[in-house]
A and B are shown apart, each in its own frame.
Chain A
């Protein structure tokens, strides 16, 4: 692989961001800005696929050293890239899906109100691709962290893209700060790891892998408390970026951003960084079974809790957002039970089908002039046929219909969870796999239910929306759209539906990348990624008679869930309200996201703000410290008056008294 070509991969989108964001600005029309941005990501994608094909052809991973970044007494970090099998795969996902979403955005961002700022949108989007590439290409922790926080910045900018809406701006800020909480954990883990390595301390991934392989005792060996702490702290970072319990609260709010952003950043790429990071450091995590158990448990719980919230949401993007949180939980469950490739495979398939469904929802939202409430949709299958058909592919993939991509990745995670040997030495280690499996399977059934609910409410029945003139989010004007449309939404233009078609194909066929062991041509991704995970082979039991029965059981459950949703939302549309009324507490809990935001507000935010204002500032600063200072000052002032020198607090009084005091003390010390 050529160093120059590799360097160009992140350079193109950076150039695009600079051209649109600083040079052209509002001089570039939507089509011009969008075309430049798409072209730049497209070029990166072309090189990425070239790299991937070379690696598949057996080429060795490439290292590109650009310049020395930080250095101080043994501590060193460079600006340098390393492209290995894992990185190249991520690069292709990022730039490939990135290109599709850039093209889609040219069609999506055609609102009059955005005309003057659409260049900003494309500049941010390019900047995001740049940061995301740094995250996966950096050959050391520091450069990875540049990307890690850089994607957070772009996420912040894009969530708050319509910054004149204060709620949207707040959502962006919430995302950034919540991520910072995770980053805090991440850097502490990094400090701990760095110093524990002693003379072998390094920030470089390759050097780290060698150091750990050669001297596992540095981090305490397998099960050591240092390595466990490090891995837990790193996972803490992942809970922020990848929206897991307890830091998942920012992701649903992040839906304030334009829908292509939700598809690219908050579904397909950025939010999977945490899974990528764990895969990148697989050799560390396998040394810490307790941390792995924590990851698997948090993943499974997040998957389940998010699914229980998705069940009652009415905003189509909120359903997809909680579904994303839930699917991310599956990925963590996968890596947590030692199935690194399985978890990573789900990253890829999820990127296909979730990007597809977000873009599909965007197509609908766009056609309905920013209506996102599914209660005002319905019957859209008839009028938006391409959108419906492509969305259907995503739906079949996420609920796990055999043959579609999601089936293969999800089923592998479920199965590996059931048979994982990773927790064997831990307390409750023998029941844990079964409990996690049950939780994950229940989540799969819930997923089938809420996704079917979404499908039926959106596409089935007849259209429940009214005229469009009054719609639009807050201060976002849509006067230009008031005319020319009938009451029924129309299919979106080609520039929007073409990316949908590509993603639909990928969602349907993505399973081919990594077929299960009972099919011919199995495990291609496994074989390809083997070198990355050479120090992390988990010995899963080979044959188990339960594999197929459990799969069939799950499939039956999924079919039942779909049927139940059909009964509720198509056959007896009055029933959901009756059920909600009967289980009011449960329904309202789910609808209000189990009040997690409110709990954080009461338990964390309010005490910090009130404490800072009422105690630290008003009492400690203003009364205690300044009280002493002002007291001393007025004492000096009084002294000044008594001496009849210069009256009211003139500086000379202090100067003189200070000089006199100084002389006095100095003499005392010199003599004493």
Chain B
């Protein structure tokens, strides 16, 4: 079942690449819809009450090295896989108008990318994970390099250098872990459950964690490793930006959740404060830089830096509300930011400019677009009742227990978030309609509504009734938190009596 979901898009990618160009659109879209249809039974077949990995496939692969083909998913993987399979048809449908050359190549790469990303979310063997992780980079590199804007080569190379640099560190850490397993157990294994059983000295945990953390932090991206993102987004075609923001960034946070943190809990104790610090800097820094952007795509890119900072803060809060909120926020960001990039793409296709100053007063000419844009804007700034609030609130609530001061700083990101989004919205949509070129703009077409409305629907659903999602996240998060807590007796993270934070002084004056 999981192999089917992982490999089908890759097989279909090859098939689509062979299609004649004139049917490439229909073919590509159909292929992505087939993958979506195949992935949906996972939602219904998944048992939310069971916290262990489900749909597990485990077969030996390279036995003498201890490498196995091991797939399996918990609630977190489930939702990230569905996010991936759900966004791909949207991206391809949106590409019908934006992609001007070689659609079949574009669709094939998107499908291959989809398969690779699903693989990273399902792999439970670190070797397999590493292969999928690296595989993701190639289609993305070509998507930006071939279909991108003017400075596409610069952006693609920058992306490549950053991530390849990270991959290198990841490889080093994984190899060390692999040898450590051999030393302790006497056999070779790259299987995650095996590696989780190791007891490593805190000192070796520390440097391995640092290597993995840098690799994942680049992908997230965390401050100060974020500068590839704005360039990649600005140069990427709309679909590239959507997949980058919608799914690929979550590979980084997922990497922390699945590998870096459970494998090296003692290192998390030691370096958690550093990561919380960087996450909080990212929240505020991203928001402040977003505030002064003149290019709408850059603005959304920096907003991602800010939002992903929240996700990291929640993960390192290491308690139920924080981690659950963090996972939920990954999905939220996938919905809202994907929609934002799609909306920016809609405007770009019509006007071929990303400069905020070239717009203004658009509400008058394109009211439907304005309504969708406004809903997504408020989803992005965490208006209660829409999806963003649920994640943000739980993250900050959780974060506050262990790191009150950093969380207070991060909470200010909620103010700046409202500032940069509403200011951008005002400059583009409100005010007098002055620019002649904007007067004949066409409102959203039926096709555009078809791919935007599902995202709007999710923004409401996840905001008003997030229970089905939270029910699937919570059991997995409880396992994660329990594993972390085992290691925290006596550390600054331990939560002594009851669960009252130790910093809370209660004496009356």
Contact = CB atoms under 8 A, between A and B. Distances in A.
A223 to B, nearest CB: 5
A160 interface: yes
B364 A649 contact: no
Interface in B401-421: 401, 404, 407-408, 411-412, 414-415, 418-419
A180 B397 contact: no
Given A75-B394, A184-B414, A612-B292, A153 B378 contact: yes
A654 B422 contact: no
Nearest to B170: A662
A319 to B, nearest CB: 27
Contacts of A79: 464
Contacts of B293: 617
Contact of B500 (A196, A222, A223, A655): A196
B384 A609 contact: no
Contacts of B289: 612, 616-617, 621
Interface stretch (B29-37, B58-66, B89-97, B424-432): B424-432
Q: Which of B325, B477, B481, B500 has most A Cβ within 10 Å?
A: B500
B189 to A, nearest CB: 16
A493 B422 CA distance: 38
Given A196-B506, A629-B161, A72 B470 contact: yes
Contacts of A651: 141, 156-157, 160
Interface in A535-559: none
Contacts of B397: 75, 190-191, 194
Interface stretch (A165-173, A308-316, A434-442): A165-173
Given A180-B414, A616-B285, A74 B320 contact: yes
B412 A184 contact: yes
Interface string B461-491: 0001111001001100110010000000000
A149 B396 contact: no
Contacts of A612: 288-289, 291-292
A142 B384 contact: yes
Nearest to A21: B371
B446 interface: no
A103 B293 CA distance: 44
Interface in A626-672: 626, 629, 632-633, 636, 649, 651, 654-655, 658, 661-662, 665-666, 669-670
B504 interface: yes
B208 to A, nearest CB: 10
Interface residues of A, number: 80
Interface string B329-353: 0000000000000000000000000
Nearest to A70: B390
Contacts of B227: 621, 625-626, 629
Contacts, number: 221
Contacts of B157: 633, 649, 651, 654
Contacts of A180: 414-415, 418-419
Contacts of B224: 620, 625
A425 B501 CA distance: 30
Nearest to B382: A149
Contacts of A226: 504-506
Interface in A24-39: none
B264 to A, nearest CB: 16
B385 A150 contact: yes
B422 A173 contact: yes
Interface in B89-110: none
Interface in A340-379: none
Interface in B254-288: 285, 288
A608 B290 CA distance: 12
A459 B288 CA distance: 50
Contact of A146 (B385, B407, B467): B385
Contacts of A177: 415, 418-419, 422
Interface stretch (B10-18, B75-83, B116-124, B171-179): B171-179
Interface in A44-80: 67-75, 79
Contacts of A626: 227
Contacts of A665: 168, 172
B171 A666 contact: yes
Given A73-B477, A73-B478, A633-B157, A669 B175 contact: yes
B508 A220 contact: yes
Nearest to B378: A153
Interface string B427-459: 001111100000000000000000000000000
Contacts of A165: 431-432
B481 A169 contact: no
Interface string A578-604: 000000000000000000000000000
Interface in A140-189: 142, 145-146, 148-150, 153, 156, 160, 163-166, 169-170, 173, 176-177, 180-181, 183-184, 187-188
B474 A71 contact: yes
A487 interface: no
B72 interface: no
Interface centre among B162, B292, B378, B389 (most CB of A within 10 A): B292
B233 to A, nearest CB: 14
Given A67-B467, A199-B499, A222-B508, A187 B432 contact: no
B118 to A, nearest CB: 24
Contacts of A196: 500, 504, 506
A68 B289 CA distance: 38
A465 interface: no
Given A222-B508, A654-B161, A608 B291 contact: yes
A120 to B, nearest CB: 9
Interface of A: 67-75, 79, 142, 145-146, 148-150, 153, 156, 160, 163-166, 169-170, 173, 176-177, 180-181, 183-184, 187-188, 190-192, 194-196, 198-199, 201, 217-226, 475, 608-609, 611-613, 616-617, 620-621, 625-626, 629, 632-633, 636, 649, 651, 654-655, 658, 661-662, 665-666, 669-670
Interface of B: 141, 156-158, 160-162, 164-165, 167-168, 171-172, 175-176, 179, 224, 226-228, 285, 288-289, 291-293, 319-321, 324-325, 361, 363-364, 378, 383-385, 389-390, 393-394, 396-398, 400-401, 404, 407-408, 411-412, 414-415, 418-419, 422-423, 426, 429-433, 464-467, 470, 473-474, 477-478, 481, 497-501, 504-509
28 contacts: A72-B474, A73-B320, A149-B383, A149-B385, A165-B431, A170-B426, A177-B418, A187-B396, A187-B414, A191-B397, A191-B401, A191-B404, A195-B400, A195-B499, A198-B500, A217-B506, A220-B507, A224-B509, A225-B507, A620-B224, A629-B162, A629-B227, A633-B157, A633-B158, A658-B167, A662-B167, A666-B175, A670-B175
Given A72-B470, A160-B430, A198-B498, 8 more contacts: A72-B398, A146-B385, A177-B422, A180-B418, A192-B404, A195-B500, A629-B162, A666-B172
